[in-house]
Amino acid sequence: MYTNVWYVAARSADLIDKPLYVKMLGSDFVLFRDKKGNAVCLNNVCPHRGASLANGTLSEEGYISCPFHGWEFNGLGKCTRMPSIGNEDPNKAAPGVKIDHYPTKEQQGLIWTFLGDDIENASPIFDIPEESDPNYTVLEHDVIFESNFHTAKFSNLDYVHLPVVHGIRFEDQDNPYRPPPHNVKRTDYGLTAHIETDSTPSEGEWEDIREKGSRVKSILKYFTAGATLRGEVEIGSINSGQFNAFYEFSTPINQTSTMMRYYFFRNFMTDEKMDDFALKRNLKNIYEDKIIAEAQEPKYGPDGMPNIVGRYEDTILKVYWEIMHEMRDKGWQIDNKKWHQMTSEGEYCVVPSIDRKNSKEKWGYPMIPRLENK
Ligand code: FES
Ligand SMILES: [Fe+2]
């Protein structure tokens, strides 16, 4: 798992007028809305005696009160009130009491949180052009994969499994199980890959819009922000202008489970009556992938590619690992072994925040350890 990434913490609709507990990167966060309605993200563990702030209440000022002794914190994690000392200044009574807070951005119907201490060097949140295009209609779906997030990601970031798992064959190849060359490129946001092929026409209602033997193009993009995969297929054929595009945002809950949130956009058959069918079609592949991912070993996810296929088949994964290893070499990867050891000795650790980097003061809980940068 990596710090210094913008992750999707929740959908906007999930955060109304109560605090919301969210587990990410194996750590605990609370989301709530301040007085202006802006989303706030704090570490969930009270610096006094460790109660869960998500079980607390929100004040009229939009601050959060701990459910144990009522200490109140603002959106920047500063203690604003301690009921037991009345109107006295809490920062005099208990100097330096504060909570790690994490920047948030609310866009595309999602609440993004920046989990780390080096925001300047992180990959920014990207645009979703379909969102503002009136020709598109969108469907949503959320599902937890009980697998490590690399494993969950690989279940889709890959052309080679398509014929085997999903029955999508590459009819123009001598071997319909071998996808055409992938054309993978490293980009500033992550990577992009595309293939052009004659593929098996879709079954069901979408069948009508693809002529057998026509060529289709499929483009995959991986964005570091949100560990997001975008997949696009021009579903009729090249130049048909009929696109099915999905976005898969992945947030590690912990090392062995991953929150997968989806947007499915389409600009054809946009009538609401087609929604059930469209959702079913999109989910078919995802739930086929889920079965594979959840049964895969090792459970804590691979780190690299010991079994690379020699030609181009695994090029996407090779580039994916280059991106991951760059993050590791910047010192952003969580050191699970060390963390596990600290936890087993009774420590509670917190995802490092920007405030922590800028402040030499003592914090209540230590930081989650990260692998040394090279
Ligand atoms: S544990 Fe939160 S105020 Fe005491
Ligand atoms: Fe898949």
pTM for the full model? 0.94
Residue 288 has pLDDT above 90, yes or no: yes
Ligand 1 lined by 280 (C-beta under 6 Å): no
CA 363 to centroid of ligand 1, rounded, Å: 15
Q: What is the pLDDT of residues 218-233, one digit of tens each?
A: 899 999 999 999 999 8
pLDDT at residue 245 is higher than 80: yes
pLDDT at res. 354:
96
Taking 70 as the threshold, does the pLDDT of residue 371 lie above it? yes
- Residue 139 main-chain phi, psi, to 5 deg: -125, 155
Let me know the angle formed at the C-alpha of 99 by 97 and 105, rounded to the nearest 5 degrees. Answer: 150
| Residue found under tokens 């123009």 | 172
- Ligand nearest the Cα of residue 69 is 1
pLDDT at 203: 63
* Nearest ligand to residue 73 Cα: 1
* pLDDT tens sequence across 185-198: 999 999 999 888 77
Report the relative pairing of strands 57-58 and 39-43 from DSSP bridges.
Answer: unpaired
pLDDT for position 241: 87
Pairing relationship of beta strands 190-198 and 185-186 according to DSSP bridges = antiparallel
At residue 174, the pLDDT reads: 86
Query: 141 or 304: whose pLDDT is higher?
Result: 141
The β-bridge partners of 64 are: 58, 73
Determine which of 85-94, 262-271, 326-335 has the lowest per-residue pLDDT on average.
85-94
Sequence-separated (6 or more) residues with CB below 8 Å from residue 81: 63, 65, 70, 71, 72, 90
Output 161 or 144, whichever has higher pLDDT.
Answer: 144
Tell me the C-alpha distance between 62 and 252, whole Å.
28
Centre of ligand 2 to C-alpha 344, Å, is 37
Residue nearest to atom 3 of ligand 1 (CA): 69
Q: What is the dihedral of CA 58, 60, 63, 67, to 10 degrees?
A: -40
Tokens encoding 269: 């058959």
Domains of the chain: 5-118 (2.102.10.10), 129-326 (3.90.380.10)
Instruction: Output the six-digit token pair for 156.
Output: 């889709």
- The pairing of beta strand 243-254 with beta strand 215-223: unpaired
What is the structure's pLDDT at 93? 86
pLDDT for 345 equals 96
Q: How far is the CA of 71 from the centre of ligand 1 (A)?
A: 6
Instruction: Scan for tokens 């030609």, then name that residue.
Output: 311
Sign of the CA dihedral 84, 85, 90, 94?
A: negative
Q: Which residues contact 310 (CB under 8 A, 6 or more apart)?
A: none
What number is the average pLDDT over the span 176-183? 84
Contacts of 68 (CB under 8 A, 6+ apart): 46, 48, 49, 51
**200 compared with 35, residue with greater pLDDT:** 35
Structural Rg of the chain based on CA atoms: 23
pLDDT range class, residue 183, cuts 50, 70, 90:
confident
Q: Which residue has the tokens 């490293």?
A: 186
Confidence of residue 205 (pLDDT cuts 50, 70, 90): low
- Ligand positioned closest to the Cα atom of 97: 1
Cα–Cα distance, 7 to 224 (Å, whole number): 9
User: According to the model, what pLDDT value does residue 94 have?
Assistant: 86
Using the mean position of ligand 1's atoms as its centre, give its distance from the Cα of residue 52 in Å: 9
Q: What is the mean pLDDT of residues 311-323?
A: 85
Across the chain, what does the average pLDDT equal?
91
Measuring CA to CA, how many Å separate 244 from each of 110, 126, 198, 266, 363? 21, 19, 17, 5, 48
| Tokens at 260, concatenated | 């997968």
pLDDT tier at 306, thresholds 50, 70, 90: low
Is the Cβ atom of 73 under 6 angstroms away from ligand 1?
no
Q: Whose CA is nearest to atom 1 of ligand 1?
A: 49
